[in-house]
Amino acid sequence: MKIVVNGVSGLDQTPGLEPAMALAEVTFAGDVAALANSLPGTEILLGWDFRGNELEECWPQADALKWIHWCGAGVDAVLFPALIESNVVLTNSRGLFDRPMAEYVLALILAQAKGLPLTLEKQKECIWSYRFSERVDTKRVVIVGVGSIAREIARLLQAVGFDVSGVGRTERDGVPVFGHVRGEADLLNEVSTADWVVAILPGLASTRGKFGDKFFRAMKPSGRFINLGRGISVDEEALRHALDEGQIAGAALDVFQSEPLPHESPLWDTPNLIVSPHMSGDYEGYFEDISRLFLENLAHYRGNKRLLNIVDKRAGYVRD
């Protein structure tokens, strides 16, 4: 059995993966050329870099591929037509990011409510800037997306005292944590009364530009917007305009249309915007947990058991 690890050039970059070496022939492909050379005869591909898109170019060399495990929750980088149409099974790392991303959302909300960005700014200027801050208990949060990450965000925010509701593709009952979920048709009405809107959508054609001028105009002036999903879902110019004109009170972005965010991007200097470098789901020990999940799934594969986190390739995510 042959495994190719794409996106890294050696075992030293994949802590915790050592046990796989005793179970299969493992090679590392840090670039397109190495991947093309390694793919013939490969049965399993471990996509270590969740942003990596080299596989599409090398697809003709994938003559024996049966299973791809992706090290991110989002799999948009690998959802090209030939793979979607193939019989290759795609799994992801769903579940690893739920708690850290929920904690990140809570941190962003508290930072905004308590005015921490301004506090740090005034500290640098040696200015004693006394002011009131906001209480967050009973504040209303609308989460757009109701998958496993969104549900963990809802659990944590509810524990703090937030009133949390969810918006999914369709209106339905019985969704864990949320209970009743509103559908897309109710999105603008839902966010019109939200103190915070948290977006946690995958990067699909159907989500591109979902949060634009019409959306931000629907929010109340004191509302804030947070996006931890994918950058393509936000019309960044519309968000800048909404912040510049005071249509909304603030925003926080952890994902962007272009990453790393270019130095010349006006987003860096947009008022009341927190910019972070796509780090909300990453944490100390993250790589070891990625390896642990892959090895668990590898045991399923070798034992002919159903794999964990099988992605519906046409939908772009793991269905509940």
State pLDDT tens for residues 141-154: 999 999 999 999 99
C-alpha–C-alpha distance, residues 295 and 246, integer Å: 49
Domain spanning 2-96+284-302 has what CATH number?
3.40.50.720
Domain 98-275 in CATH 3.40.50.11240? The answer is: no
H/E run at residue 58: helix 54-58
| Collapsed DSSP state (helix, strand, coil) of residue 241 | helix
Verify cis geometry, omega within 30 degrees of 0, for the bond prior to 15: no
Non-local CB neighbours of 261 within 8 Å, separated by 6+ positions: 267, 268, 275, 277
* Residue 319, pLDDT score: 87
Task: Return the DSSP state at 229.
Answer: S
C-alpha–C-alpha distance, residues 229 and 74, integer Å: 8
Using alpha carbons, select from 282, 236, 274 the residue that is nearest to residue 256. 236
100 in Cβ contact with 279 (< 8 Å): no
Single pTM value for the model: 0.94
Examine domains 2-96+284-302 and 98-275 and report if their fold is the same: yes
What is the average pLDDT value for the chain, to the nearest integer?
Answer: 97
pLDDT tens sequence across 195-213: 999 999 999 899 999 999 9
Domain ranges for the chain, please list them. Answer: 2-96+284-302, 98-275
* Residue 63, pLDDT score: 97
pLDDT tens sequence across 31-66: 999 999 999 999 999 999 998 999 999 999 999 999
Within a 10 A sphere around the Cβ of 220, how many other Cβ atoms?
Answer: 13
| pLDDT band with cut points at 50, 70 and 90 for residue 320 | confident
